[in-house]
A = this chain, B = another copy of it.
Amino acid sequence: VREIGEFGLIEAIAEALPDAVRCGPALRLGVGDDAAVFDVPVGESLVVTTDAMVDGIHFRTDWIDWRSLGHKLLAVNLSDLAAMGASPVGATVTLALTGSERVADLRELYAGLGELAARHGVAIAGGDVVRSPNAMVLDLAAFGSVDPARMLTRGGARPGDAIVVSGILGASAAGMALLEAEGSAAMTAEALIAAHLRPEPRVALGRMLFEHGVTAAMDLSDGLLGDLPKLLGRSGVSGEIERDRIPVAAAVRALFPARWFDLAIGGGEDYELLMTVPPDQFEALALNAANVGSTLTTIGRIVPGDAGALSIVEADRSRRRIDRGAWDHFG
């Protein structure tokens, strides 16, 4: 940042964005005025989310390249929009910089952000660059639109619904574990590391859930055991999941023979979608999910009971109740 004064920095970095991202169809007014102006489709509501990432806490610049960091900053927010069934529209970015960052790296950050934004029709409409000598903090606010009659909340799960997840769980956590261990460079390891560095927000999947009968949805950022109780709580129901049904990559099982299940249910940062759906609608939903590249797996069911209560059905069919935050005590 020393290379360019604070004035003009955002413009210099923003040049790394693809043109499509600087002037998306909904963007009336972008970088350079007091605020950005967007159009929201008639009849749709505005959906807003924000997620911040702190250097040393949420990422380490010796583990993640700047381009992946930009991708991830936007991906974690688009994942929230996906979980609402919303179409992403735009985003603003706040960079709190220590002053020792290199402009070339910040341009890489924006390039990674811009690539993902272009794929999802998201316009990056400026933001704020501030000085923060003691910590680099990246914050992004993403907004999208959804027909309010078709939006997906966490609150609609009903007893009898299947509990379903997209994709595989634990790959991101396994990737982080490999980075921590400076692990193998095998292809399988690289795929897991990529899952951690460059998660794919399930935007197209999110948009089709409502019409296929999904009753509640959220994205998996804190791990299944952290997130599922929130959905159960908001819906006022209980849930049970089966150990043998949790989708886990073979590579995760092979590389982490002792830890794979903990990584899958507690590791976090999967950015897959967790949803509930009446069982008779699952097959059509899964078929259509496959068309947008997502595999769906039924991992359990909604049952009547205390709001937020979760049980695991073990391989021997024994059940145990999971207390929120208590998973560390299990083997």
Chain A interfacial positions (CB closer than 8 Å to B): 5, 7, 28-29, 32-40, 42, 45-54, 56-58, 80-81, 83-84, 86, 89-90, 92-94, 96, 125, 127-128, 130-135, 137, 139, 141, 143-144, 146, 148, 151, 153-155, 217-219, 234, 325
Chain B residues with Cβ below 8 Å from A53 are 130
Complex contact A141–B92 (CB within 8 A) = yes
Minimum CB–CB distance for A215 against chain B, Å: 14
User: Once bound together, how far apart are the Cα atoms of A151 and B37, in whole Å?
Assistant: 9
How far, in angstroms, from A36 to B36 measured CA to CA in the complex?
Answer: 19
Chain B residue at minimum C-beta to C-beta distance from A217: B34
Q: Which B residue's beta carbon lies closest to that of A226?
A: B7
A135 CB contacts on chain B under 8 angstroms: 96, 132-135, 137
**Pick the contact of A50 from B32, B33, B89, B94 — CB < 8 Å?**
B94
| A51 interface neighbour in B38, B39, B128, Cβ under 8 Å | B128
The 10 closest A-B CB pairs, nearest first, are A141-B141, A35-B49, A135-B135, A134-B134, A34-B83, A134-B135, A34-B80, A38-B46, A54-B132, A50-B92
CA distance A51 to B57 in the complex (A): 22
Closest chain B residue, CB of each to CB of A58: B130
Secondary structure class of chain A's binding surface, majority of residues: strand
Q: In the complex, what residues of B have CB within 8 A of residue A94's CB?
A: 50, 52, 94, 139
A90–B132 alpha-carbon span in the complex (Å):
26
Residues of B within 8 A of A137 (CB): 96, 130, 132, 135, 137, 139
Q: Which residue of B lies closest to A84 (CB)?
A: B35
Interface centre among A35, A45, A83, A93 (most CB of B within 10 A): A35
25 A-B pairs, CB-CB below 8 angstroms?
A28-B151, A33-B84, A34-B49, A35-B49, A35-B84, A35-B86, A36-B47, A37-B84, A39-B45, A48-B141, A49-B92, A50-B128, A50-B141, A52-B96, A52-B139, A54-B130, A54-B131, A56-B133, A57-B131, A58-B130, A94-B94, A96-B137, A130-B137, A134-B135, A139-B139
Residues in B neighbouring A46, C-beta threshold 8 A? 37-40, 46, 89, 143
Task: Tell me the smallest distance from the CB of A106 to a CB of chain B, in Å.
Answer: 16
Q: Are B148 and A28 in contact (CB under 8 A)?
A: yes
- Minimum distance in angstroms from A33 CB to a CB of chain B: 5
A8 to B151, CA, bound (A): 25
In the complex the two chains form, is A127's CB within 8 Å of B45's CB? no
Additional 10 contacts, C-beta under 8 A, given A34-B81, A50-B128 = A32-B154, A37-B84, A46-B89, A46-B143, A48-B90, A50-B92, A54-B132, A130-B137, A132-B137, A137-B139
Residues on B with C-beta less than 8 A from A47 are 35-38
